[in-house]
């Protein structure tokens, strides 16, 4: 790697790296549902009126993960699962049941609760609502619109700690506190948040101070030193930045690591693409939630 301009020797233990990539796949093909399947169905049907459940939630979580990773049509997914279900003596659900149960199954799009401190970064990206008809929309000037995905990511693990989906007209800054609160509600201990100039708002600075979280956002170059505008913490940051210089200020507060959120977004789009296949907004959010769950499972395996 020295010949490629790297200052230090780059050593990767390829055997361990390959094993960890293989482990990612095994985590997504979880068969822990098999021994509890009958007991779970019995519990789900206890006291239930009407048609009984035939498939447990643990099974449908695995099916939903498979659907997120492969983006199979539900009819194709039914055919794919048929020989696998036969091994366990289970009749495969028809495609309409798969669609309904996958949509009803709750998934955890965040990360498991833990006690270690996290440094997070916030940003947003566009998600297409369809991959079809690009030429027609361009030709006839038809506005289809797109989703805006706001995310809060861990800069060390690249896990997506929380997300908010909106239409393209929604600004970034007003969703920051909700992202932080959702991540905290899931058990994430956030100590610092990095963000670009779109999040440089008084409510965000004050809100982070109330939550006792260090907030580092890019402040515009001509920000006033004399007026706090109801936000003393931001004024102190302006004074410090102007005194030591922007580069030194960024280095001191670790702002140069904000780019890691863009890396996480890029990783997500490489895995799941830049579009959603669902038609309604609620189903689009569920689809993204399922994708993020799979994304975080894979990110928990260090490679």
> How do residues 223-259 score in pLDDT, each as one tens digit?
888 776 778 999 999 999 999 999 999 999 999 999 9
Contact 185, 164 (CB under 8 A): no
Q: What are phi and psi of 119, to 5 degrees?
A: -105, 125
Q: Is residue 98's pLDDT more than 60?
A: yes
Q: Is residue 132's pLDDT more than 70?
A: no
Share above pLDDT 90 across residues of the chain, in percent, rounded to a whole number: 55
What digits encode the pLDDT tens for the residues 29-50? Answer: 778 888 999 999 999 999 989 9
Distance in angstroms (rounded) separating the CA atoms of residues 77 and 58: 17
Q: What is the pLDDT of residue 8?
A: 53
Class of domain 117-277: alpha beta
Q: What is the mean pLDDT of residues 270-277?
A: 90
Q: What is the pLDDT of residue 145?
A: 72
Q: How many CA atoms lie within 13 A of 205 on its CB side?
A: 21
Q: Is residue 19's pLDDT more than 70?
A: yes
- Reported residue count of the chain is 303
pLDDT band at 134 (very low <50, low <70, confident <90, very high): low
β pairing state of 214-217 and 189-195: parallel
pLDDT band at 2 (very low <50, low <70, confident <90, very high): very low
Domain borders along the chain are 14-104, 117-277
pLDDT, greater one: 188 or 143 = 188
Average pLDDT over all residues of the chain: 87
pLDDT band at 4 (very low <50, low <70, confident <90, very high): very low
């Amino acid at each position: 790697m020295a010949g490629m301009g790297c200052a230090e020797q780059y050593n990767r233990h390829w055997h361990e790296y390959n094993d960890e990539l293989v482990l990612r796949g095994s985590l997504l093909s979880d068969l822990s549902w098999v021994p509890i399947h009958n007991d779970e169905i019995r519990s789900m049907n206890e006291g239930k009126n009407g048609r009984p459940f035939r498939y447990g939630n643990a099974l449908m979580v695995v099916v939903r993960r498979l659907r997120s990773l492969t983006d199979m049509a539900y009819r194709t997914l039914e055919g794919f699962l048929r020989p696998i279900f036969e091994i366990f003596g289970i009749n495969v659900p028809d495609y309409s049941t798969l669609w309904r149960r996958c949509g009803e199954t709750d998934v955890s799009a965040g990360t498991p609760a833990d006690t270690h401190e996290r440094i997070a970064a916030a940003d947003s990206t566009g998600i297409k609502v369809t991959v079809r008809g690009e030429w027609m929309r361009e030709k006839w000037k038809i506005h289809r619109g797109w989703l805006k995905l706001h995310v809060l990511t861990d800069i060390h693990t690249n896990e997506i700690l929380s997300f908010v989906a909106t239409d393209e007209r929604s600004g970034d800054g007003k969703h920051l506190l909700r992202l932080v609160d959702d991540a905290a509600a899931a058990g994430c201990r956030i100590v610092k948040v990095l963000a670009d100039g779109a999040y440089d708002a008084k409510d965000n600075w004050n809100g982070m101070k109330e939550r006792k979280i260090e907030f580092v956002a890019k402040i515009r170059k001509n920000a006033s030193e004399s007026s706090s505008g109801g936000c003393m913490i931001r004024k102190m940051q302006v004074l410090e930045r102007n005194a030591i210089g922007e580069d030194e200020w960024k280095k001191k507060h670790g702002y140069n690591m904000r780019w890691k959120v863009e890396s996480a977004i890029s990783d997500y789009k490489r895995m799941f693409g830049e579009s959603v296949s669902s038609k309604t907004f609620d189903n689009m959010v569920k689809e993204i939630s399922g994708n993020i769950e799979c994304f975080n499972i894979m990110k928990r395996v260090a490679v």
